[in-house]
Amino acid sequence: MANVFAFVESRGGDVRKAGLEAVSAARQIADQTGGGEVHALLAGAPGIAAQASRLAEVGADVVYVVEHAGLAQYDAESLAATAAERIRAGGYRAAVFSATAQGKDLSPRVAAKLRAPLAPDATAIAVEGDAIVVRHPMYTGKVIGALAITASPALLSVRLGAVPAQPNAKAGRVETIQPAADPGASKVRVVELREGNKGKIDLGEAAVIVAGGRGLKAPENFKLVEELADSFGNAAVGATRAVTDEGWRPHSDQIGQTGRVVSPELYVAVGISGAIQHLAGMRTSKTIVAINKDKEAPIFKVADYGIVGDVFEIVPALTQAVRAAKAAH
């Protein structure tokens, strides 16, 4: 019976969706290796302890809480030291991180501190005999690798949405611990967090993404994409590289080989032809809708549903229809 560790990402005093998913992924590994405990590490500014119960609800048996004013912002050096110390002390079979920007920054540091193997960006996790095996998209998603780790602890980072958080209530003992390194002593400091699209849902967490491409012809026409996204109520706006290169949208909105990789329930591609680089970022979406004037566009080869025609005519009609459908619920 092996215990499993989960690092919980939080921001501004709130647990991120990725943090809940990390606990669920750890729960899954613990269950498959004989039902051990899940120990979560939750760190943040004073007050973060109040979030511990949310982790118990999704399967954490123990929540180690680190509260420190210096952790109001992400502090890689202090968090890596604390996570490494806890993992070392806990003798875990596996340690789960989120494959978010922060998780991808943190997990390799912890792996190097522990000289432990790291399987990154898992889209699925399985326990096979002595090995923990993760599926990991490589070559821009054109190849899926099965990466195996037999040594303990096995470190892995899990892609957003790969292991949805499941209700799995535990008693959830809370234990307060000290940071293994003072955040004030870190060499790299986050001096500011500029929240973009405040109040809007992030691409990685959105159930629906409406993305626009060059077919929109001009930056101001992106409002069609935004209005369609608004009509769904739970959608984020994305863009192709052509669009971000033109400066119509910030680089952080780019979906593709060199941008964000997303897997929403529904992906609506507006005026996007479907270059290989773009497909690399969205082909794992559950349902894909394409709207494009060129019926030979490669996007139609990956789309579940397509409408051929003028985006300036179709998108406003779709926005209205989605609004009506939502209102009827």
Partner 1 sequence: MKIAVCIKRVPVMEVKFAIGKDGASVDETGLKYDVNDFDLWAVEAALQLNEKNAPGEVTVISLGTDAAQEQIRKALSMGADKGVLLKADRLPGDAFAVAEALAAELKDGGYDVIFFGKKSIDADNSATGAMVGELLGLPVVTGVSKLEIAGGKGTAHRAVEGGIEVLEFPLPAIVTVDEGLNKERLPSLKGIMAAKKKPLESRPAQLGTAGVTVQKMELPPERAAGRIVGEGAAAVPELVRLLQSEAKVL
Binding-site annotation: residue ranges for FAD: 214, 240-241, 254-258, 271-278, 292
* Contact status, residue 156 vs residue 96, Cβ threshold 8 Å: yes
Instruction: Verify binding: residue 305, partner 1, rule CB under 8 A.
Output: yes
Q: Is the peptide bond before 153 cis (omega within 30 degrees of 0)?
A: yes
- In the complex, least distance from residue 185 CB atom to partner 1, rounded to whole angstroms: 12
Instruction: Verify binding: residue 194, partner 1, rule CB under 8 A.
Output: yes
Distance CA 301, CA 304 (A): 8
Segment contacting partner 1 (CB under 8 A): 38-46, 50-58, 116-124, 173-181?
116-124
* Dihedral over alpha carbons 57, 63, 68, 71 (to 10 degrees): -60
Q: Which of 22, 71, 72, 76 binds partner 1 (CB under 8 A)?
A: 76
The distance from CA 86 to its chain's CA centroid, rounded to whole angstroms, is 24
Q: Compare residues 165 and 322 and give the one whose CB is closer to partner 1.
A: 322
Question: 300 Cβ partners below 8 Å, 6+ apart?
Answer: 274, 290, 292, 306, 308
Residues 86-105 interacting with partner 1 (rule: CB under 8 A): 100-102, 104-105
Residues 17-56 interacting with partner 1 (rule: CB under 8 A): 18
Instruction: Verify binding: residue 185, partner 1, rule CB under 8 A.
Output: no
* Contact status, residue 189 vs residue 217, Cβ threshold 8 Å: no
Instruction: Verify binding: residue 273, partner 1, rule CB under 8 A.
Output: no
Instruction: Verify binding: residue 169, partner 1, rule CB under 8 A.
Output: no
* Contact status, residue 278 vs residue 240, Cβ threshold 8 Å: yes
Segment contacting partner 1 (CB under 8 A): 33-41, 49-57, 73-81, 222-230?
73-81
